[in-house]
Structure 1
């Protein structure tokens, strides 16, 4: 009993000495080094020697003295009625008290250790057990001060913020100080912002919402949508800046979302109603403002995307139809119109929507519809024959016109002559840009190859380096390797042919200088049509065996096939007016040589057919090119009677050489000169055009079958929807496979045992090994 009595007296003896020091610390009064050390010693002594009661007594006494101090502080704060004065008083008192939450606990560290090991601490969290005294101080402040005047503090802070929104300045540190007290007041180790979030953050957001719910509708009604967007944008920026000053970082996005809901989402449909008019007016500044507002709302920007896509499609089609008469007659104008539209739409997306990827995708999707629209240009690939297994709907002629435009740039034309190398390259890159949006790229490649063939055979390329660069650019934009490789092989063949010609001329003296032989690889150049027979002049007929013999000596196992349709030459034409060099096709040459031994005779159509051995259709076209040439004022041949089209020729129509033929420049007859009668070298007959179209269709069928098998081989099992999606993705670089085509090829592959339908689900396909 003596021991217990001694311990009880230890607290009673020590506390009267400890209490004044604690009060000094709470009141931020000077404490001497000796007093500070005595406090540490006395707390240690009581907790060590009076452990049963002393610990509880010190804890309870400390709690009471802190509570009494806080109550006195609260009275000082509540004496202030003015909002600013209240906040200043509270912040002043709180700041001093919070500082002591750092200085007082170390003196009672022994008490905290004793409490940690006592039964009183069994329900306490681990982190809280290390800060018992600090928690005691904060909880006491919360209980006696904060809970009592919390609403006054919040209301006073919100009133000051309202004044700031109205343009009235105040000391921002008042609101910041209150915010910091809410943040620091929490003693919850797991959630330091709990009190701040439950009270200050929620009050701040509610006050902000109330302010704009009252102000925004009236402003919109009085000023209209355009001015309201500027108002909303300005207020959003202000509230973001304000939130960064007065709120914790985690609260800023919550506040901004709330303001966006109040200022933008509530009036979304009204704002979006101005989208199409602004686009039509090309009001990029206001559109950019609208985008910045609407993009803050999840998925709301989809509405703008829909409006933009519709506008680009409609505007593109309208522009193309308005220029129909010009662009249908001039591929250059057509491409320039497309490029100007693309540039215009791209500028709209850049200036209005900051080149946002979603808007770039929408632009591409819409422009693709414009490019592939067939209401102005229509290309029907279906043939008159019944051999085609698939009838496909008409397509846009855009790829054909793109190929024509490339030809104008790469061939020796007035256009290519007046442009610099850099300008030609730029225009070719523009063509490739448009080509990216063409769905039937295989048609472009077909026409481009035909034009390239003419240029290489006739030697009319403006720049050989540009020709080869174009092939590489086609590879870079994703054209299939087999197409591009064939084009590259064509250049290689021309170079090899030059070497063969040189060697042939060195080894032969039998007229080898009258011809330039081009040995072309059938895989890269060959056409499906049968070769057209024609009777050649004796000089050329005699040369053919020599060429074949020479070639066989140097290349074993290869067979030569002569394609006169792809040949041309230069002949000397003497008339009463002068002597002229005529550039002619092989068919024109054969016709003109008929008069070589009888220059003044008139020959009938039937006799010309027998002499030249040309098919009637080709003979008609050839004679028409000599009777009606737009390049010359006087024609090489005359016909009797005169006709208006090659169809009007009959077997008895007479043709004769025009001995008054002459080259006329500036109204004067030229005695010498060179005239090109070839025009656009006819590399295709009506039959071969049919075959070209048939070839495109058949190749699409094969490509579709190949892609389906490739997908099934990889997947083993696949449903119809997924198959179609992957198929389109695989083939889109050449053409867009129609659903009908896909369906037909699936049935063909099932019939031929490449795949089968699942017995339980007919929409699932299984690969057959």
Structure 2
């Protein structure tokens, strides 16, 4: 019987005879509990539930006083039992310390890990046995007098820390770091041992002063959350980070001496991944950030100049993967991207200029070549920023600055001389005209939307947007007047995009032009049939409000009689509907179709300007005239007449008796009809032969541009003065430049001239006491 009782964990003397005479209740119960503790901490054998409950009941009966003649059922006993348990744990930990204190290096790690794992397992079982003491006497004691009493789990950890860990940590941490270095060197190690030991550093950070809130969970995990990771940080993390910095500083220097920067960035990227995995595998998560900072400092920050020096070459070689890797690394450190942004801006300007240099001859007159070259450069780096730079807005800003620079000043614009600032707006407007006018290869709706978006991409970088407006409105007027616009929807779509970027005022005239073109169609539906019946001519008129349409060159010419009669008929028709309005014919923009029945081979139909029509109509009277007779008969100035006659000569409809000298025919030059004219086409457009007038138009338009800019600047100044009433010269200049920046960049001298004009016109005046201050005159 005694043997069986001992196996069940109960002192045989107590099992057979009851309480032993001369021994206290505590001695007797402790004898029983010691046997249980020996099993838990010594034999490490699993304890069945019946045996466990016998030990638990012993603790319960002692603490609650069951079986004690002094117990009244109300008092809790446990102080002596707590002291004996504390002494037992201390002896056990000291014994373990004596066992392993002479070990070093990896052998120490293996033994420490095994003993720690065993101790934790045993302590959890023991804590269950003494749970009643834990929940009642210990908790009650802590709540009452705040004495230095700990729950059982905390007690075991504190004893391990005090009696074993603190004596070994000076050998334990270096051994851990050595093992981690072997892992970094690619030598296979047992990560479970490192993980387990590092976890002991974390758990041993438990505080001696546990939270005392009612019903608080007093487990070790709860205490860790409240006290932090002091042991882990002081005895592992600080040494680990220092060793990490030393290790990678040496590796970085060696690698850069023997390898390229690109290969170095690949190595660094790999090291970051390895260290992140290493931290996730066997360290506490709080080390992730300081570890990353240490790596950034030693692997990136200290070598940032190497990165920045190589970046420009990577851009030039279009090595996008290497660029993305370099960005990803430099992004990790303070100010690591600033030099990369500067390098991207400079390189984009260089490449933009370089690409335009290659096509400058063709691009000067070919808007498609010019715009597509710019788009190729822009899209290349916009895609790079999207893919490699993670849509970093600061790099898009660098691209914006670069695009603004090379779009407004490049080898193509410089060819325009003093009109260099006008060249990019002009070519962009002509590019728009290319896809907005009728053609054989008309873009589909989806493609048209993409093209318009591309145009707006470049448009936002155009400095002189008023010049674009001037060129665009001029080309739009031609599309509308000559009915060669591909689609009203496309026109409205383009104008809508311009309005979104520049506002209603910028596109107001463009919208009005389209409205007037539609109104003219309605008028012609009524008038044209009347004119056809009366004069036998298909005659259409387009009504333009002078202040809404671009400036158009006046033209004096004597038209054929039939056309003059049509003019008169329309005046009568128009005055019946609209009284008090003055009609002025813009013959420089007039076109007509002339049928030729005089050639034997076939009947031709020619598209001609008003001047060409006037000249060719003369040959309905005779087959030849001297140039002087044509000049006196047609009412044109000589340069205009020369351009008309010369265009028909070059078209082979007319012949001349002698060549022109310095772009002018002699008065006695005979101009005659080429009665043998033939052409494989029946319909021919001869309007493109005339070039001289457009050059003169350009000169007039540029004079108007200066006048228009002056008016815009004056209007801006007046708006500012009405709002501010008083303003200094410096502030006024600044506000004018800011407000007009979206349209053009006015010259400072031009602003000063406008201020002087407004003072003279009494819109404003100088302050008598402060001459650098202006006052608004209501």
Q: By the TM > 0.5 criterion, same fold?
A: yes
TM-aligned CA distance change 1:166 to 1:261, over 3 Å: same
Rounded to whole Å, the distance in 2 between the matches of 1:337 and 1:230 is 34
**1:174-221 superposed Cα distances (whole Å, 9 cap, x missing partner):** 111112212222223533322222222222222322322233322222
Match of 1:150 in 2: 169
Q: Which moved more, 1:174-183 or 1:138-147?
A: 138-147
Match of 1:636 in 2: 654
TM-aligned CA distance change 1:657 to 1:481, over 3 Å: farther
Match of 2:237 in 1: 201
Match of 2:555 in 1: 532
Rounded to whole Å, the distance in 1 between the matches of 2:187 and 2:693 is 84
Match of 1:572 in 2: 595
Q: Return the offset for 1:588.
A: 2.4
- Which of the residues 111, 136, 142 maps onto 1:116? 142
Q: Return the offset for 1:521.
A: 3.3
Q: Say whether residues 1:232 and 2:247 are aligned partners.
A: no
Match of 2:538 in 1: 514
Rounded to whole Å, the distance in 2 between the matches of 1:693 and 1:621 is 20
Give matches, 1:366-765, under 5 Å: 366-378=402-414, 394-395=420-421, 397-412=423-438, 416-418=439-441, 421=444, 426-476=450-500, 478-505=501-528, 509-511=533-535, 513-525=537-549, 527=551, 531-556=554-579, 558-573=581-596, 575=598, 577=600, 579-604=603-628, 607-614=629-636, 616=637, 619-628=638-647, 632=651, 634-636=652-654, 638=656, 641-646=658-663, 648-649=664-665, 652=667, 654-660=669-675, 662-665=677-680, 673-679=682-688, 688-701=697-710, 703=712, 731-737=740-746
SS at 1:660 equivalent:
coil
- Which of the residues 18, 22, 26 maps onto 1:14? 26
Rounded to whole Å, the distance in 2 between the matches of 1:44 and 1:716 is 93
Rounded to whole Å, the distance in 1 between the matches of 2:299 and 2:389 is 21
Rounded to whole Å, the distance in 2 between the matches of 1:768 and 1:154 is 84
TM-aligned CA distance change 1:358 to 1:598, over 3 Å: same
- Which of the residues 70, 76, 85 maps onto 2:110? 85
Q: Return the offset for 1:260.
A: 2.1
Question: Does structure 2 conserve the Cα–Cα contact (< 8 Å) formed by 1:364 and 1:437?
Answer: yes
Q: Return the offset for 1:95.
A: 2.2
Q: RMSD value over aligned CA atoms?
A: 4.2
Q: Return the offset for 1:161.
A: 1.4
Give matches, 1:42-441, under 5 Å: 42-45=62-65, 60-78=83-101, 80-81=103-104, 82-96=107-121, 99=124, 103=128, 104=130, 106-121=132-147, 132-188=151-207, 189=223, 190-350=226-386, 352-378=388-414, 394-395=420-421, 397-412=423-438, 416-418=439-441, 421=444, 426-441=450-465
TM-score (norm 1): 0.81
SS at 1:524 equivalent:
coil
SS at 1:170 equivalent:
coil
TM-aligned CA distance change 1:755 to 1:222, over 3 Å: farther
Rounded to whole Å, the distance in 2 between the matches of 1:178 and 1:91 is 8
SS at 2:534 equivalent:
coil
Question: Does structure 1 conserve the Cα–Cα contact (< 8 Å) formed by 2:649 and 2:655?
Answer: no
TM-score (norm 2): 0.80
Question: Does structure 1 conserve the Cα–Cα contact (< 8 Å) formed by 2:477 and 2:550?
Answer: no
Q: Return the offset for 1:69.
A: 2.8
SS at 1:395 equivalent:
helix
SS at 1:581 equivalent:
strand
TM-aligned CA distance change 1:630 to 1:169, over 3 Å: farther
Rounded to whole Å, the distance in 2 between the matches of 1:13 and 1:713 is 103
SS at 1:273 equivalent:
helix
Rounded to whole Å, the distance in 2 between the matches of 1:730 and 1:139 is 73
TM-aligned CA distance change 1:739 to 1:68, over 3 Å: farther
Rounded to whole Å, the distance in 2 between the matches of 1:538 and 1:570 is 16
Q: Return the offset for 1:238.
A: 0.7
Rounded to whole Å, the distance in 2 between the matches of 1:43 and 1:177 is 36
Question: Does structure 2 conserve the Cα–Cα contact (< 8 Å) formed by 1:317 and 1:370?
Answer: yes
Q: Which moved more, 1:366-375 or 1:238-247?
A: 366-375
SS at 1:460 equivalent:
coil
Match of 1:390 in 2: none
Rounded to whole Å, the distance in 2 between the matches of 1:724 and 1:135 is 75
SS at 2:201 equivalent:
helix
Rounded to whole Å, the distance in 1 between the matches of 2:573 and 2:158 is 109
TM-aligned CA distance change 1:745 to 1:57, over 3 Å: farther
Q: Return the offset for 1:242.
A: 0.7
Question: Does structure 1 conserve the Cα–Cα contact (< 8 Å) formed by 2:647 and 2:686?
Answer: no
**1:139-196 superposed Cα distances (whole Å, 9 cap, x missing partner):** 3322112211122222222222122122222221111111221222222353332222
Match of 2:20 in 1: none
Rounded to whole Å, the distance in 2 between the matches of 1:16 and 1:728 is 99
Q: Which structure 2 residue ranges, 5 or more long, are not aligned? A: 1-22, 208-222
Rounded to whole Å, the distance in 1 between the matches of 2:31 and 2:711 is 99
Question: Does structure 2 conserve the Cα–Cα contact (< 8 Å) formed by 1:575 and 1:662?
Answer: no
Question: Does structure 2 conserve the Cα–Cα contact (< 8 Å) formed by 1:233 and 1:293?
Answer: yes
Rounded to whole Å, the distance in 2 between the matches of 1:562 and 1:432 is 35
Q: Which moved more, 1:509-518 or 1:394-403?
A: 509-518
Q: Return the offset for 1:408.
A: 2.9
Rounded to whole Å, the distance in 1 between the matches of 2:630 and 2:719 is 55
Q: Say whether residues 1:24 and 2:36 are aligned partners.
A: yes
SS at 1:376 equivalent:
helix
Rounded to whole Å, the distance in 2 between the matches of 1:193 and 1:717 is 65
Question: Does structure 2 conserve the Cα–Cα contact (< 8 Å) formed by 1:626 and 1:635?
Answer: no
Rounded to whole Å, the distance in 1 between the matches of 2:541 and 2:613 is 17
Rounded to whole Å, the distance in 2 between the matches of 1:234 and 1:742 is 59
**1:449-491 superposed Cα distances (whole Å, 9 cap, x missing partner):** 2112112222233455544443344445x24323434323323
TM-aligned CA distance change 1:430 to 1:38, over 3 Å: same
Rounded to whole Å, the distance in 1 between the matches of 2:76 and 2:724 is 79
Q: Which moved more, 1:145-154 or 1:359-368?
A: 359-368
Question: Does structure 2 conserve the Cα–Cα contact (< 8 Å) formed by 1:371 and 1:398?
Answer: yes
TM-aligned CA distance change 1:321 to 1:59, over 3 Å: same
TM-aligned CA distance change 1:468 to 1:202, over 3 Å: same
Rounded to whole Å, the distance in 1 between the matches of 2:549 and 2:640 is 24
SS at 2:485 equivalent:
coil
SS at 2:206 equivalent:
coil
Question: Does structure 2 conserve the Cα–Cα contact (< 8 Å) formed by 1:707 and 1:727?
Answer: yes
SS at 1:365 equivalent:
helix
Kindly tell me the number of residue pairs found equivalent between the two proteins.
Answer: 722
TM-aligned CA distance change 1:683 to 1:659, over 3 Å: closer
Question: Does structure 2 conserve the Cα–Cα contact (< 8 Å) formed by 1:309 and 1:366?
Answer: yes
Rounded to whole Å, the distance in 2 between the matches of 1:709 and 1:171 is 81
Question: Does structure 1 conserve the Cα–Cα contact (< 8 Å) formed by 2:353 and 2:410?
Answer: no
Question: Does structure 2 conserve the Cα–Cα contact (< 8 Å) formed by 1:629 and 1:635?
Answer: yes
